[in-house]
Chain A
């Protein structure tokens, strides 16, 4: 995976598989560290599984014996001098947090977070997403709940005009806080 935003896309798949109907994604850049946090209200894991999940031999999938998603994300963060942690509670949900040192030569670019978020909104119109982007100059907060409030029940989130609006408004607000140069 050559973009952090692709790891995020992959971690979101775990949340979807876990039956989450709310997924919160936060990207924070402090000028040095880029912190990525994905929180869901899915089925969660027991303490033992959560502790072992960064080891590539833990998986619940049946087509292949090993899980790769979390171990790959962890390796990518650690290659920059950063770290990855998984906190989870059975029946409550899961938090995956990765810290990247963004100036490190081995740090992959963040890549298009907007594509990651908007594609997931379109493919899972029954799940709510909240997405925040924080830089030293300010923050952007986006939430499908607010969008749904305006659209009502009749206009779905995957309507092409709505998709274009979501992409543009997220990108514009991120550019205003200087996040465009990180994406």
Chain B
């Protein structure tokens, strides 16, 4: 690990905004990451969420993962938990859909109904 000096710079730069982030209630994006999810393409979906959330500078949003959500055919599955709101489950996700979910749902507060599980169960 060579560029630890750059990391020290990043620490200094981000310290202030980090302290702000602590006070906000967080939104969680949770991705199913069992064998079935990984085989169906969960990793690029996770990376797309990480990238887009970083680009949009959504400091109140954290990305995490869970095991099998129990609907292997609909993987990759992503659940969004927002404070005081019902959970939203998106299914058959792709990196392109992830970008749209970040922008429509997380930035503009509009659920992307066509990607939700309700739309597939019909």
Contact = CB atoms under 8 A, between A and B. Distances in A.
Interface residues of B, number: 37
B74 interface: no
Contacts of B65: 123
Interface stretch (B34-42, B84-92, B96-104, B114-122): B34-42
A103 B115 CA distance: 41
Contacts of B8: 150
A59 to B, nearest CB: 10
Contact of A150 (B7, B31, B54): B7
Interface in B30-66: 31, 33-36, 38-39, 43-44, 46-47, 50, 53-54, 57, 62-65
Interface stretch (A9-17, A44-52, A94-102): A9-17
Given A119-B43, A119-B46, A150-B7, A9 B18 contact: no
A160 B53 contact: yes
Interface of B is mostly: helix
A161 B54 CA distance: 8
Contact of A155 (B14, B38, B62): B14
Given A122-B63, A169-B2, A64 B68 contact: yes
A161 B63 contact: no
A128 to B, nearest CB: 14
Contact of A13 (B14, B18, B50, B67): B67
Contact of A115 (B11, B47, B67, B72): B47
A161 B14 contact: yes
Nearest to B66: A123
A147 interface: yes
A165 B6 contact: yes
A150 B4 contact: yes
Nearest to A162: B10
Contact of A122 (B6, B7, B50, B68): B50
Interface of B: 1-4, 6-8, 10-11, 13-15, 18-19, 31, 33-36, 38-39, 43-44, 46-47, 50, 53-54, 57, 62-65, 67-68, 70, 72
Interface of A: 1, 6, 9-10, 13, 17, 61, 63-64, 68-69, 72, 115-116, 119, 122-123, 141-143, 146-147, 150-152, 154-156, 158-165, 169, 172-173
